Amino acid sequence: MPLLSSFRGILDAVASAPTPLWELPIAEARRNAEVGAAFLGGEPEHVGLVRDRTIPGPGGPISVRVYQPDGYGPHGVLVYFHGGGYVMCSIDTHDTLCRQLCNRGRCVVVSVDYRLAPEHPFPAGLDDAIAAMQWVQDNAAEVNGDRSRVAVGGDSAGANFAAVAAIVNRDDSRRPGLRLQLLLYPGTDRRGGYASLVENGEGYLLSTAMRQWFGRLYILATADLADWRLSPMCAATLDELAPAHVVTAEFDPLRDEGDAYAERLASSGVPVEHRRVSGMIHGFMQYGSLVPEVMTEIDLVGARLRKALA
């Protein structure tokens, strides 16, 4: 189907910006992301309780925001990693989405403010994400959660972290299995070569130039793009991973690698629900206040969370 008309004004506004995001100083690019998210997010939903805290991390304390649903616990827990190309965005930019997932999933959401590149290139942010997942497993009671009902999830770069964290968790026999890996338009293969990178490389928000900018800031020149911690598609095996819910978008340059990852998970025997959403662009879960169709997709993700964490 064609691009949803509600996105056209958003894309036109981005295209008319006097300076592309990737040509701005990093601090200004980050400020723009925060301002844009506040505009797009709309009125934040009520949840039972929200509190900020820190947890131990490999590079120092990690800030997290904990969302609790109404009702008594302990609840299932979603450990959530925001998107932003490994370079920008925060627990603030994804506050609205995390509230929506908390309410619809009827679960605790622990949103992780991992370290960003270029100040902290690969694998610093990933190390924080894994540490946060493990902290929740070890200390679930501190967030009114049940350590036997933990999921990981994220969008874009955060979905990459979630996919890798699921592999790390599988390989650690000391830890309980995850209930779900929620992968929203994930980046899964830095090697490239997918048709959608070209088909959707211009005019749909996440441009080729923007992706290359993110990559230069996050990945050191000496890094191996086939390292499974960068490209989970390159993991030796995906057998016995947690069930996956994978969402991809028709007009997203990352569409095909997300589709391919879902297919490889399924061929490895992992229970997979994969939804390629027509008419949508990369990052669409952030646009619920402007694009009514997005709320249907958020409701579906919430229902999948609720089922997995019951």
The DSSP code for 58 is B
Q: Catalytic residue numbers? A: 156, 252, 282
Q: Is 220 exposed, middle or buried (0-12, 13-18, 19+ CB in 10 A)?
A: exposed
| Residues whose CB falls within 8 Å of the CB of residue 161, separated by 6 or more in sequence, listed in order | 81, 114, 125, 126, 129, 130, 152, 154
Cα separation, 145 vs 264, whole angstroms: 31
| Residues whose CB falls within 8 Å of the CB of residue 285, separated by 6 or more in sequence, listed in order | 97, 155, 184, 294, 297, 298, 301
What's the gap between Cα 176 and its chain centre?
Answer: 22
Cα separation, 231 vs 122, whole angstroms: 12
